[in-house]
Chain A
């Protein structure tokens, strides 16, 4: 922050530390201020990646392609599934009967795992967690948010789901059962949120806009048309 001396020279105002006497520091050269302390796990992951490539187990391009695939996943895919289920009752039946097959119709692969879609109703609110690690429908939604992977969420949502929901701004009425799904094995879960009121005859594109990542995990509900 600016020190007490009257100066308008940015170098004086914003450099409270002392640089080496006589050393000309280019204002645009940030190298002295780089703080890039690579953590232990980051280093191990990097070393492993290099070794796997060196030993021909995977190629750099395979890794790149995998990252490209994960980058192409996201809430938009989950929203498509939900919007279609809301608009098309037959699709919804297929989705509830066999989630893997139904999202496959939209060219969404599940890989080695199976998808189970759990529906929010007037009587039930669903919320997803993986207490053991961070299992998440990655091939649909991409990477999970940090809070989903946190020990805090994973340990608390199974024991006090309503308190956790409240912290996300979601209050579930007492007469509605909160159903926690711990995806601890081969299933992956997607919440089918309740269709908001006032959306009769909306197109799938418009319906999809009401679907957020958080309502697919179950920490909130879908947006209402009012906003």
Chain B
């Protein structure tokens, strides 16, 4: 059961745990909006070390305004970036 709905504002955690993480550093701490719920998938953070990745973790596509990611973004205000973030990396913004 997904916690977030389309359009919810969410913030990506600022944390740098060791191990295999699929959250790029450039997006940690940034705030965006849920674009869609993608479904639940085995956790790659566990799969990478030979575990079965269960329980499956909810995954969302989150949309960010480029100007909210990069302080030096040199492009129009409407430019965006979408990427997939697991629920446990998100908190309500």
A-B contact count (CB 8 A): 71
Chain A residues near B86: list those with CB within 8 A: 185
Interface assignment of A132: CB less than 8 Å from any CB of chain B:
yes
Q: Does A199 contact B (CB under 8 A)?
A: no
Please provide the chain A residues from 103 to 160 with a CB less than 8 Å away from any CB of chain B in the complex. 114, 116, 131-132, 158-160
| Interface residue? A177 (CB, 8 A) | yes
Q: Which of A132, A183, A185 contacts B41 (CB 8 A)?
A: A185
Which bucket holds chain B's interface residue count?
20 to 34
Question: Complex: how many Å from CA A180 to CA B86?
Answer: 19
**Least distance between A72 CB and chain B CB atoms (Å):** 27
**Inter-chain contacts of A187 with B (CB < 8 A):** 38, 61, 84
Q: Does A64 belong to the interface (CB within 8 Å)?
A: no
Q: Separation in Å of the B25 CB from the closest CB of chain A?
A: 10
Across-interface contacts of A179 in B (CB, < 8 A): 79-82
Q: Is B70 close to A, CB under 8 A?
A: yes
- 27 pairs, A vs B, C-beta closer than 8 Å: A131-B26, A132-B24, A159-B73, A161-B75, A161-B79, A162-B75, A175-B76, A175-B78, A177-B78, A177-B79, A177-B80, A178-B75, A180-B82, A181-B82, A182-B82, A182-B83, A182-B84, A185-B22, A185-B41, A185-B44, A185-B83, A185-B86, A186-B38, A186-B39, A186-B59, A187-B38, A187-B84
* Closest 6 A/B residue pairs (Cβ): A185-B84, A177-B78, A182-B83, A180-B81, A186-B41, A178-B79
